[in-house]
Amino acid sequence: MSGHYALVEQGASFLRERIGELPDVGIVLGSGLGDFTTGLANAVSTPYTEIPHWPASAVVGHAGTLVIGSIGGRRVAALSGRAHYYEGHSMQVATFGIRVLGLLGVRTLILTNAAGGINLTFKPGTLMVIDDHINLMGSNPLMGTNDDRFGPRFPDMTEAYSKRLRQVADQAARARGLAVAHGVYAAVHGPSYETPAEIRYLRTMGADAVGMSTVPETIVGRHMGMEIAGISCITNPAAGVLPQPLVHDEVMAVARRVRGEFTGLLEAMIERL
């Protein structure tokens, strides 16, 4: 892990020299949600391919760019796209960007994603504040020798998603006239969508939404002492809820349809931090 710390520090050092004022808020933008970055003032945009050791984002709907700018009086680092475990990256590589944000001084992290709706009351376009998660990815980004410079060997996950930030999300939604739901996010490693039997299993476990990201980032963020908020855009009913197959194009279409509401919610949250 000590070698990993050196790689993360190289990425952070490159950005310190480039971006000027350092961010204290980080946002990871899920599939189709990258338009948030257009609202950042005095923005500095850096393709992931230019940042030492930063993994490229190869999924449709992920721009693969780090944008650092200002909004609501805060300096924000927005990751327009993420690396996924299912792309063949190790957990360490998939969470590299979160580690870099931590070394840059980010203390508040907002994670967003497109997710399938398990809760039968959720409709496509529902915005769900994540209250907790279930890690079914079969791995954990903290496996291996712990480097105390990142965080403790056994970080507490009692409040993986900050109660304070969940309240901030509710306040922000009311201020913008938006309806938000709350629920539990289940993370699977994908890339195949789940079967109807797997969705029934997840529903029995207490999951309200399912996706292929976010949880490793939450674990790494908490390991580094960050306060975490998570928001899922429910882009489709999960397998078996409706008698039709799941396709990524429909996921992207719903994300595009609600991106204005989603962006408004993020902006209002940042204003209240």
What residues are annotated to the active site? Answer: 31, 62, 84, 86-87, 114, 212-213, 236, 248
Sequence-ordered list of residues with C-beta below 8 angstroms from that of 225, at least 6 positions apart, any chain:
102, 107, 151
Cα gap 187→169, rounded to integer Å: 21
* Identity of the residue numbered 25: V
Distance of CA 251 to the CA centre of its chain: 16
Instruction: Provide DSSP, 49-70.
Output: GGSTTPPP--STT---EEEEEE
Q: Are 12 and 239 in contact (CB under 8 A)?
A: no
Cα gap 5→49, rounded to integer Å: 19
Q: Are strands 180-188 and 74-80 parallel, antiparallel or unpaired?
A: unpaired
Q: Are strands 108-117 and 209-211 parallel, antiparallel or unpaired?
A: antiparallel
User: Maximum distance among all alpha carbons in the chain?
Assistant: 53
Q: Rounded to 5 degrees, what angle do the CA atoms 47, 52, 55 make? A: 65
Q: Are 160 and 218 in contact (CB under 8 A)?
A: yes
* Identity of the residue numbered 199: I
Cα gap 212→196, rounded to integer Å: 16
